[in-house]
Amino acid sequence: MGDVFKRFGGGLGTVFTALVLVWLAGMVLAPNITMIDYALRPNLPPSAIGGDQDVYSLSNILYLAGEDVHRAIFFKTIWASALVAFITFVVCYPIAYWLAQNATPNQTALVLLALTIPFWINEVLRTLAWYILLAFRGPLNEALLAIGIIDAPVRWFGDTGVLAGMVYAYILFMLFPIYNAIESLEKSQVEAAKDLGASTWRIHARVVIPHAKAGIATGCVFTFMLAAGSYVAPALLGAPGSRWFTQIIYNWFFEGGNWNRGAAYALVLLVLCLVVVLVTLKLARVNLTDVAK
């Protein structure tokens, strides 16, 4: 905070600091405090709000513990979000390494531009593109039928479609942190490992990945959080058997009319996601300062 005042002076620094504090209070603290308040209070008609029944309790949160279907979807969402993060890492790591260590500046600029341009389009439209691609009579089935890999069209919607859509939707959130981390690795270290006879796998395991662990952890955190809180991809690409926990939260708010229970479900999802993220950072020995960078 002191750097702001040194750079911009007392007056302008005060304005910037005040704007940041207002933004934090209005966009971060207020919504979350309101969500906690709703989650701990019962769903009552307007006339009963503030009355004897309007007391704080854990009943809305405990309701989730007693709902077998909702609880199963909740843990499935957490597990599947971790799977999305892992698949996205597997897809992005080779690309990031090639861009950072082997590609020419022109190749890097061209590939990054090609990856970035589709993300100028709205997420809903990008997900609808996957909806068309994975359709029963869509391009994917037509291509696989034409080359003889399948004998009949496959229904890709469901868990497969949701995973594919999410990996595509959040690929840049994994790619850029890993690319930035590997870019700072001196090529001489990789060359020295090769000269000493290290295999490709050993070089990546002992040199590249340890150096890039902050970027990898950052990408996994971003991707996991975005996947766990996603609604568009499960709603458009999912099937009745592949419901996401965010869909249940949506139903409580907009179909069930029970904002208190919806807030409780959202609070549980937020808390467990934070726990998973903190545990991941602890296991990777990366602190929040490294993630912020």
Per-domain boundaries in the chain: 69-290
Per-residue confidence band for 33, with pLDDT thresholds at 50, 70 and 90? very high
* Cα dihedral 67, 231, 158, 258 in deg (nearest 10): 30
Q: Which amino acid is at 115?
A: L
Q: How far is CA 32 from the centre of its chain?
A: 19
Please, what's the b/e burial string for 182-197 (b: 16 or more CB within 10 A of its CB; e: otherwise)? Answer: beebeeeebeebeeee
Q: What is the pLDDT of residues 252-269, one digit of tens each?
A: 999 888 999 999 999 999
Alpha-carbon gap, residue 52 to 40, rounded angstroms:
15
Q: What is the pLDDT of residues 140-195, one digit of tens each?
A: 899 999 898 888 888 888 888 899 999 999 999 999 999 999 998 988 888 888 88
Rg, C-alpha atoms of the chain: 23
Alpha helix (H) ranges present in 153-212? Answer: 159-169, 171-183, 187-195, 200-203, 209-211
Alpha-carbon gap, residue 269 to 203, rounded angstroms:
38
Q: What is the pLDDT of residues 192-247, one digit of tens each?
A: 888 888 888 999 999 999 999 989 999 999 999 999 999 999 999 988 778 899 99
Alpha-carbon gap, residue 139 to 145, rounded angstroms:
10
**Residue 99: CB partners within 8 Å, gap ≥ 6?**
107, 108, 111, 112, 179
For CA atoms 233, 236, 237, 241, the dihedral sign is: positive
Alpha-carbon gap, residue 38 to 43, rounded angstroms:
8
What fold is seen in the domain 69-290? Answer: MetI-like fold (1.10.3720)
Contact 166, 84 (CB under 8 A): yes
Contacts 24+ apart (CB under 8 A), 134-143: 134/161, 134/164, 134/237
pLDDT at residue 288 is higher than 80: no
